[in-house]
Every structure is written in structure tokens, then in C-alpha cells.
Structure 1
């Protein structure tokens, strides 16, 4: 669980949630230069080509339920151990070890040959994965890839001619639109609940530097629904159910789903590249609030204020400037930072987006080419890291790692740290800045941060922040 504004808890629907992205200053949005990516479908994931949404009070849910219920599976996360890990396992298994159920959730079949999308927290740490279909057939599953930052994972079973759910366009969902949540809450197989879209681009991580953009719905979702489908009335996948807000861990009226465009982009990246392709728009800023309007004499009360531009970024090359207010991207209305984050996270480096800004009361439009993210700030320890070149690694005798690019605190010895190579964070190997972000995203906030690095003399050193 995770605190929401100190009153509500984000309860994982079957595991431990990771929320992420980037945000910046205004309206408690604090963070880095903005990351993002693109969505040109180069894989063979079925996508719905008709989205004539049905509205009204006499909507019939039976067709959408029938289309989707057989394509949502039950996912069991099983740990296999050779010796007992605690006293309870000793009493249950003796000294011989055994198999223990670590957790369970849901998954969505997205291709007829057995590719399944679920949440990263559903499959995290699994020795074995068992997938049970709606017809009670059980399969072993392999993990194709996962992304802790978006909490999306792709797994595969060896089967053919399966029912599947085609991806819909989550950018097109509307407030008040009917939706169905399909999953396996409390191990109750094939459960369907109905509700409406309550909000779009909802950020649950307002106090952190890693915002996410969720679809909010009032369709009843409970522990075990994690990784299940949020579908529209046409039976198209518009989201992957991920979290609820609750003081007790069960549903009280709000649930949240990763938008299908974002999930689809992660899945396509995993299938084509083996990892997630993340890029940046190249701006630093945040959502506008009334105080910002007054302080900076802004011409509008909504949008994303540009507080800074990353040197060499697509935003700088296109002509976006500090004090601009971003109002639209590709005709998507940008009212707050999570609107921008949610849309750009469905794109890849190299994609071109049309950014409309308000500059001193006049509208201007720029075509911005998204670039690959190369730096990542860690404010909690006062460091900025960057991807290291082969030459920089070789100079210090490192086979892998990221370089310390900048110190963000005057208390740190910049002359001794800048240019050194970080090889591990909390005993986990890091090869690039995205892996740094993943390690820190999965870390318990109460745990220390342990940095293993190679100093400018080629010696291995460690630093600990508590």
C-alpha cells in the first residue's frame, strides 16, 4: 500500500505497486527533464479498427462481457525454494524446501498465440508462473519482459487459437463512458463489474518525482484484479487495472488502470527491442495553479508551464522557450502535467509531436522530435547520472555503468564525483539511466541507497545514504 495525500492508500490489486514517469514543479509537480516515447505499431498485436462507442442508459453489457471474459486469465506467482526461508516454511515443508504461492492476479490475452499482458507487480519475483484460462486449462508461462516503471509485464503461454482482446485507443475515452472491469478478484474466476470513466490522466504520486497517468473508474475492482482488463462497451481493451485507493485494502469507489496506449507501447517495445524505449520532450516545468498564474502573470489558467529547456533537446531545437505554456500536443488537450506525461509516454524517441504553446497570450505551434533520455536526477542523494560512452567506461576500467554527470548538492565533492562510474545501486547492476530509475522505483522509500562506483583513480568505492 502507498499513502495518497496522507488519507488514502493505494492498494495493489495483488502485489506491490510501482507508479512512475516524471514530473516537475508547479502544483507539487517536482522532477526532471520530461521522458517519453512513441507508438508506431511494428509488432503483430491486434488493434481494434472500429470504436463506435455506445452511450445512453439502456446499454447492453452482455456482448462486451461475452467477448472479453474468455480472454482474461488467472495468473499465479509461485516461488520455488530449496530450503525454508523462515520458521513458517520450516514447519510446513521441513528442510526440503517447496513451492509457495507468492501472489495471484489477472492477465489479458492480447494475441491468439498466447501473449498475455499483466502487471509487473503480479509476476515480480516469481520462480514459476501458472496461468489458468476461463475453461480451467492451466499452462506454465514465461516472462518475455517487464517494466517496473509503468508496472506492465508481458508473459507467454504455449497455446494457439485463444480468445483475445484487441487494443482500443485510450486517448478516445470520455468521462462518463461505460466500462467493464474483467478479472479474478479474491481468486473468484471470471468476474465482470461495470462502471463509468470517472477521470482521465489521474496522478496518484503527487508528492514524488515519478508521476503516472491513470484512467480512473468506479467499476468495482479488488485485490486479484491486478493485470486484468478495463474494456469499453465494444469489448476493446482501454486499460490494465492496476490500483485502488482505500483505507483498508478493498474497493471503496475508485480504481485505476494503465491506459491501453501506454501498455501497448511498452509491450511493443519489449517484443521488438527487448526493453522499453524511453525518450524526452526536453522541458522542465509543471502544472499551472492559481499561485503560478499570479506570480508569473500567465495568460491562461491551465496547461504545463515550461520552467526550463534541456540543452540539445527536441524542445530546444524546435523553438520552445522558458515561460511558454503547453496547451495541446497533437490536438490532445493538456490541462495538467499528467495529461502531457500520459500522452508522451505512448511515444518513442524519434517520433514527432505537434506542441501548441501559449507565449505571452499568442498561440504558437512547434513540431518537436522526441529524443532519447540520457540523464536522470536523483534529488534524494543529490546526484544526476547520465549514460556513459564506451570510452568513458574504458577510461576507468569499467565494463558497464552510468556516469555521475552532476552534483545537485553543495555538500558533495563535485571534483571527486563527476565523471566517476556507478556500477550498482543497492547491489543491482545498472547499465543505463532507465535501469537506475527502475531500481529506485522498486526501492522501499525507508531503505538506504547504496551506491557502488569506480572513482577517478579506477578504485571501487561505496557510498550509503540513509
Structure 2
């Protein structure tokens, strides 16, 4: 073989080797390309679109998830409340809950200037003739109250009445045929049930948020700041977002019915941090219609001092039960005393409805009026018994209490202290003795004009506070503190 043939064979071998190598790489190493097919018809896709039906209760969305229907039903009945405040500088500090609600409800007072300014909140139309439920702290001390409806109509509102013990108030505007909100059944609302909060947070009108009921009959001690002995806290706890301006707004179920009035939040900052609290609608309904019909809440009392049963208490008192309401004391002449309740009884039900704590008992009793009879189920010495109790008011009778500015107790007539007097005496609260007849007050040396500011170190801010303090002290002595109009402070001991 000559040199030329050898050279040609080498070139041909190299060429064939390269072809074989490239072909082998393509077959063995390089992945095969596969065309992707994207369906456009949607057939076979388990996810489908769902339409909302707005004008019927025949839900297309599953009934338990239809927020749209509830929002559409309820939102027109939620109003925006604007308030203005005028008065002397001392008046700006008269509300003992102000420090808390200043962050929650909004800056309506400036502590540095000590001068009232403006506030804002929410309310719920509860009747077609213009009655509106809201929080007491939304309108407390306001010189003017303006109501802005969902359709932008504006009205001046009349304050019908307030109840600081439940933080509720009732307003009235002069209008007819308004869209209003029906009351729902807050007693039977379930933990885990969906609810909507509707109000005007941060001036964002008609804002709707959703959450679930997190707990019921929750006592958060917010009204304890007022020093009242007759406060009632049995809040519905939810995780629906509530912020400053939502006060007095609606908590509704998915039928668009009112189940609560949004009142407070648990927050380290003053803005929503996870939980909000609403006064249950059954209690709202009772309180606001009392205010409408009588101008004052008809407050039924059993006349007992109570506390929650705990494991420690059950062990110490050998109760044999871990839930219920422990009776620490029964006051003389009260409903409980007449019914035969005794100290160390454990109340477990009111009218057949289980009560596991003080908040639940207070709520069930408060739904009644003085003169109503209730069934009290309790445990004594390991035995369960039921008695009927006729409820009495703070004056230990069953008469209707009106919105009169004066009350008579054991020969003395009392009335609230005017703002002018508070300013002059530099006090934040008190009840004044206007007329003095024969009785324990006169015997103790008290003169007319005396302003009672404390009884047994407890602030006296209202007639409810006064009567509650006296009822709790029945059979014992009390220490009365106060001041006369000339600024002279005085202390009296009275055997009650």
C-alpha cells in the first residue's frame, strides 16, 4: 500500500469515527423533547367558577361561606357616628375608661390641652323609625352627635339613654322607613361559626371584615376601669378585624342578622392584633329597649357576691365540681336570700341554661327585668337542687326604675354631680346629697350638699354604684368619703 492510500484511509477513519461519536451522543445523552399540551376547554378540571346570587337566599356559594349576601343585607343598616365635645377642661378627664378607649376609639381628647375635640364611631339602625344602637364610649359626654347613613344622608341624633355597665347607648334620628338590622340569636351562636364585623375603621366607611367566633361569655375586665359594681361583661370574642372607629358597629351572622355590637379589642398597640369583642345581641336588645321604654335599664339582681369555681377553690371548699359559680355571700333582703340560696352554693344553671362562670350567669340574669321569676339550679353538699327566685332591682323591690335624676335612699335624696361642680371641686365622680330627712345618713352627721366620692374605697360614679355598694355592705359598717361644696373633705362611718 502506497503512502497516498494510507493517508486517505486515516482521514476516512477519522471522519467515520466523528460521525459515530456525534450520533451516539445524540441518542444516548441528549434528552428527547416532548411537546406540552395545555387544555383550553377546562373539561376534566375539578376546579370550577362559582357565581354569587345577590337577590335571593338561594345560595350558589355554599350557605356557610356566602359573605356577600350577609354583607349586602347588613351594611345599609350600619351608620357612621361623628361627635363633638365642648365644655370645661376638667370635663375631658371625667370618663374613667378614656385612657383605654383613647387608643381603641380614637383621639377625641388631647391630654396636653385638656380640651375636648371630635370623635367618630359606628352604630346600627335597629328599627325603621330611626333608633340606633351604639357604644356608650362612642357618645359619652358628646355635645353634638351626627349620624351619616350608608347612602350619605346626614342627621342630628338625640341621645335617648346610656348604660355604662354594658357600654351601650341608644340614639334616635328623625326619619322613617329606614333599612334596619334584624336581631339574631347570639345565645345559640357557635364557636367556630363565621361572622362579619361592619363599621367605619379609620374613617373608612362601611368596611366589612370576616372571622369566626373564637369564644363566648368572655370577661376581659375592660368595664372594671369604671369602678362599677354592676357591670356586665359576657363578650363574644372573634378574630374579625376591628380597629378604631369600629366601636358601636355590627357583628353579624351569615344571614345578615345582628349578633353583637363591636366594643373592644385586645391589643398592645391600639390597633387590631388578632381578637375583638362584641356585646351579645340578646343583651343589646334588652338594654336598648329598656332605654327606649323607661329611659333607664331595668337591672335585675340576685343579690349575691360570686366568683368562678376553680380547681383550687373546689379543693379548698370540697365542692366536688370544677365548673360553676361559687356563692361567696348572700345579702339580706335580696332575691337570692328570699329563694333560700346560701353561702358556698355552686350555681350551675339559670332557667335550665348551663352557667360555667360569672360572665355567663350575669348575662342570663341580665336578660330579665325586676319582678321576673327565674329558676336557679345549684349544688349544695353534693346534691343538685333548683329553686325559683323573684328578681329585684337595686332598691330591693320590683318597681320600674325611671330616668329620674334623683333617688331617695333611707331619708336622703341623691342626684348626680354637675360638671360645673366637678370642675370647682376638682373631682371626676360623685353623687350629691340634695335633701336630707331622718335616717342613717342624717344620724351619721352628713349635711345637705355633701358629695359622696367613695364608699369603702370604691369610686361612686352613678346611682348603680351607690346602691350596689350599700347592698353589698348590708349588715356591716361602711366608710363614706366625700367633699362639701366649699371644698371641705369629710369621712363618715355608717352602720348599714
Is the shorter-chain TM-score for this pair beyond 0.5, marking a shared fold? yes
Structure 1 residues 176 and 398, CA, compared in 2 at 3 Å: closer, same or farther? closer
* Shift in CA distance, 262/460, structure 1 to aligned 2, threshold 3 Å: same
Question: Judging changes above 3 Å, is the alpha-carbon distance between structure 1 residues 123 and 374 closer, same or farther for their aligned structure 2 residues?
Answer: same
SS of corresponding position for 1:155: strand
Contact 1:401–1:430 (8 Å) recurs in 2: no
2:272: which partner in 1? Answer: 251
- Paired residues in the alignment total 364
CA 1:173–1:401 in structure 2 vs 1: closer, same or farther (change >3 Å)?
A: farther
Q: Aligned residue for 2:183?
A: 167
| Distance change >3 Å, CA 290–CA 56, structure 1 → 2 | farther
Equivalent pair of 1:356/1:366 in contact (CA under 8 Å): yes
1:239 and 1:260 in contact (8 A); partners too: yes
State the Cα distance separating 1:74 from its structure 2 match: 0.3
User: Displacement of 1:79 after TM fit?
Assistant: 2.8
Which of these residues, 40, 62, 72, is aligned with residue 68 of structure 2? Answer: 62
What is the CA distance between 1:149 and its match in structure 2? 1.9
1:15 matched residue in structure 2: none
- How much does 1:102 deviate? 1.6
Cα deviation digits, residues 78-97 of structure 1 (max 9, x gap)? 235799x99xxxxxxxxxxx
Contact 1:374–1:433 (8 Å) recurs in 2: no
Match of 2:289 among 268, 291, 295: 268
**CA gap 1:277/1:186 in 2 versus in 1, 3 angstroms:** same
Hey, what's the Cα distance between the residues in 1 that align with 2:250 and 2:303?
A: 33
The alignment status of 1:118 with 2:145, answered yes or no, reads no
Q: 1:115 to 1:206 in 2, by over 3 A?
A: closer
Question: Aligned pair in 2 of structure 1 residues 141, 206: CA closer, same or farther (>3 Å)?
Answer: closer
Partner of 1:369: 390
Q: 1:404 to 1:135 in 2, by over 3 A?
A: farther
Please say if 1:134 is aligned against 2:155: no
Shift in CA distance, 236/57, structure 1 to aligned 2, threshold 3 Å: closer
| Structure 2 residues not aligned, in runs of 5+ | 1-60, 93-114, 397-406, 415-431, 470-479
Aligned 1:53-202 pairs, distance under 5 A: 58-80=64-86, 101-202=117-218
1:422-460, Cα deviation, whole Å (9 max, x unpaired) = 54549x99883457779xxxxxxxxxx972469xxxx99
2:463 paired residue number: 432
Partner of 2:315: 294
Question: Residues 298 and 435 (structure 1 numbering): CA distance in 2 closer, same or farther, change over 3 Å?
Answer: closer
1:119 Cα deviation after fit:
0.7
Q: Residues 367 and 102 (structure 1 numbering): CA distance in 2 closer, same or farther, change over 3 Å?
A: same
- Which residue does the alignment assign to 2:220? 204
Contact 1:401-1:422 within 8 A present in 2 as well? no
Does the 8 Å CA contact 1:186/1:222 hold for their aligned counterparts?
yes
Q: Tell me, which stretches of 5 or more residues in structure 1 are unaligned?
A: 1-54, 87-98, 376-386, 407-413, 439-448
Q: Is the 8 A contact 1:424 1:430 kept in 2?
A: no
Looking at secondary structure, tell me which structure has more helix per residue: 2
Pick closer, same or farther for the CA change 1:343–1:265 going to 2, 3 Å. same
Q: State the 1:161 CA deviation.
A: 1.2
Contact 2:166 2:232 (C-alpha < 8 Å) held by counterparts: no
Partner of residue 451 from structure 1, selected from 455, 467, 482: 482
In the TM superposition, residue 117 of structure 1 has moved relative to its aligned partner by: 0.6
Q: What is the root-mean-square deviation of aligned Cα atoms in Å?
A: 3.9
Cα distance in 2 between the residues matched to 1:339 and 1:127: 36
Structure 2 residue aligned with 1:462 = 489
Closer, same or farther: CA 404–453 of 1 in aligned 2, 3 Å: farther
Q: Which has the higher contact order (CA 8 A, sep 6+)?
A: 1
Asked whether 1:344 is paired with 2:361, we answer: no
Shift of 1:279: 2.4
Q: 249, 252, 260: which one pairs with 1:231?
A: 252
Task: Tell me the distance in 2 between the aligned counterparts of 1:74 and 1:176.
Answer: 29
Q: Secondary structure at the match of 1:173?
A: coil
TM-score, normalization: structure 1? Answer: 0.69
Change (3 A) 1:151 1:404: farther
SS in 1 for 2:359: helix
Q: In the aligned structure 2, how far is the partner of 1:176 from the partner of 1:201?
A: 14
Deviations, residues 288-313 of structure 1 (Å, cap 9, x unaligned):
11111111111210000112111121
